[in-house]
Amino acid sequence: MKLGRLGVWNAMDAMSAADGAAFARRVEAWGYAALWLPESRGRNVLVHSSWLLANTARLIVAPGIANIYARDPMAMANGQRALAEQSGGRFLLGIGVSHAPSVEGLRGHNYGRPIATMRAYLEAMNAATYAAPAPPEKPLTILAALGPRMLALSAEMADGAHPYNVPPEHTEEARRIIGPGKLLCPEVWVLLETDPAAARAAARQALTPYLRLDNYANNWRRLGFGDADMAGGGSDRFVDANVAWGDEAAIRRRIQAHWDAGADHVCIQTIRRDGARLPDERLLGLLAPGSGG
């Protein structure tokens, strides 16, 4: 798999299947390497990945992430193999332990200790039997990883890491932990807005749901943000560290900062000034590979 340097991260459940396929084709036409999509309360992410792969020709499709509590290890591993084979190797599987409220409240499972649970899950994936044609090459698996122990597990048992909601300082530390030769694909929020008050208001709207989740809050504390920074939607310092806002040049500088810190591939997720969950396609067009930046 030749994973380029820049991809698009977008929640697809706000779109119909037809609209999602058309959006994926536009992402492909802009020259982005990959389209990343989450799994939460909507579509099964492997099913929708199949749809997007079938409607594109070159684009890599990557769950960011597939919830390990949504399917057993054999179902995950064999779904990965099938999608990689059907697409000619264009499927990159990201998996993660999700969050206790989603796992226990929505799915009715017990939320296990993250590292031990993920280790056992990966071992079971590796042992899964597959009685169908193999993909052209061994498909890659990366882990949703924020803390040092999950990052270390990403290097030990997977092909890399997909940190979400992280500034360049985290990317630098993540690269140090996972070492060379492993994929590092951080997600970065981007917002085309030069007015500080408007930009920070939109950024706080996007970040607020994540402030309620322990996995993110704990990681931000490791990065030096205190409770005061995370109160009320986040201090200016907190917002500015986690959302790349401003003009095109300012946003490109932030993306470059992640590359300079050791990222192989940056997944950009746009924030629209009107608060809508749909992507800001004007910004995606401006930042598209080959568009002049």
For residue 112, is pLDDT > 80? yes
Give residue-wise pLDDT tens across range 220-240: 999 999 999 999 999 999 999
- State mean pLDDT over 45-49: 98
Confidence of residue 292 (pLDDT cuts 50, 70, 90): low
| 166 φ/ψ angles, rounded to the nearest 5 degrees | -130, 145
For residue 173, is pLDDT > 70? yes
Q: Give the model's pLDDT for residue 144.
A: 98
* Six-digit token string for 78: 């064999």
Domains located in the chain, CATH noted = 6-192+245-287 (3.20.20.30)
- State mean pLDDT over 6-17: 96
Q: Is the pTM of this model over 0.85?
A: yes
Map tokens 């981007």 to a residue: 190
Give dist(CA 132, CA 136) in Å, integer. Answer: 12
Q: Give the model's pLDDT for residue 293.
A: 46
- Mean pLDDT, the chain, whole residue set: 96
Share of the chain above pLDDT 70, in %: 99
Q: Give the model's pLDDT for residue 1.
A: 86
For residue 25, is pLDDT > 60? yes
Give residue-wise pLDDT tens across range 140-166: 999 999 999 999 999 999 999 999 999
Give residue-wise pLDDT tens across range 191-202: 999 999 999 999
Confidence of residue 100 (pLDDT cuts 50, 70, 90): confident
Given strand 66-67, what is the order of strands in its sheet? Answer: 66-67, 93-96, 141-143, 160-161, 183-184
Q: Are 177 and 257 in contact (CB under 8 A)?
A: no
- State mean pLDDT over 237-249: 98
Closest C-alpha to 274, from 192, 207, 165: 192
Q: Are 106 and 40 in contact (CB under 8 A)?
A: no
Map tokens 């009320």 to a residue: 232
